[in-house]
Structure 1
Amino acid sequence: MTADHQNGHEQDDVLEEKSVDSAQTEENESTESNEDEVLNAEIVEESSEGTDLQKEIEALKASELRIRADFDNFRRRTNEENAKRVKFASQSVIEKLIPLIDNFERALQVNATSEDAKQIQSGVDMIHRQLLDVLNAEQVEVIEAVGQPFDPNFHQAVMQEPSDEFESGIVTMELQKGYTMHGRVIRPSMVKVAE
Structure 2
Amino acid sequence: MPENTESNIDQDKIYEMNEEQASVDADKLDNDEAIGTNTVPLDNAGQEIKNDAPSGESSVEKDPIEEARIELAELKDKYIRLYADFENFRRRTAKEKLEMISGASADMVKAILPIVDDFERAKVSFESSTEIDALKEGVDLIYTKLSKTLEAKGLKPMESKGETFDAELHESIAQFPAPSEDLKGKVIDEIEKGYFLNDKVIRYAKVIVGA
What residue number does 1:135 align with?
150
Q: Which residue, 162, 177, 193 being the options, matches 1:177?
A: 193
**5+ long unaligned stretches in structure 1:** 1-35, 102-115
Q: What do the CA deviations read for 1:168-187 (whole angstroms, capped 9, x no partner)?
A: 432122233233444352x4
Cα offset, 1:50, TM superposition: 4.2
- TM-score, length basis structure 1: 0.52
- Residue 61 (structure 1) shift: 0.9
Deviation, 1:152, is: 4.0
Q: Distance in 1 between matches of 2:181 and 2:91?
A: 54
Task: Give the gaps of 5 or more residues in structure 2.
Answer: 1-55, 120-130
1:149 alignment counterpart: 164
Find the counterpart in structure 1 of residue 44 from structure 2: none
**Which structure is richer in relative contact order (CA contacts within 8 A, separation 6 or more)?**
1
Quote the residue 1:111 is aligned against.
none
CA shift at 1:127, angstroms? 1.6
**Structure 2 counterpart of 1:68, one-letter code:** D
1:25-44 alignment runs, 5 A limit: 40=60, 43-44=61-62
Change over 3 Å in CA distance of 1:161–1:78 after alignment to 2: same
Residue type at the aligned position of 2:62: V
Q: Whose Rg is larger?
A: 2
Q: 2: distance between equivalents of 1:65 and 1:181?
A: 38
- Aligned partners of 2:191 and 2:206 also within 8 Å: yes
Specify whether residues 168 and 80 from structure 1 end up closer, same or farther in structure 2 by C-alpha distance, changes over 3 A only. Answer: farther
**Is 1:126 aligned to 2:141, yes or no?**
yes
Contact persistence 1:166–1:194 (CA under 8 A): no
The answer to whether the Cα contact below 8 Å between 1:171 and 1:192 also exists between their aligned partners in 2 is yes
Cross-structure match for 2:173: 158
Contact 2:162–2:188, Cα closer than 8 Å, also in 1: yes
Q: Identify the residue that residue 106 of structure 1 maps to in structure 2.
A: none
Paired residue total: 133
TM score, norm. by length of structure 2 = 0.49
Partner secondary structure for residue 163 of structure 2: coil
Identity of aligned residues (%): 23
Q: Any conservation in 1 of the 2:169–2:201 contact (CA below 8 Å)?
A: no
1:143–1:177 Cα contact (<8 Å) kept: yes
Q: CA RMSD in A?
A: 3.4
In the aligned structure 2, how far is the partner of 1:166 from the partner of 1:79? 51
When residues 65 and 124 of structure 1 are mapped into structure 2, their CA distance, relative to the original with a 3 A threshold, is same
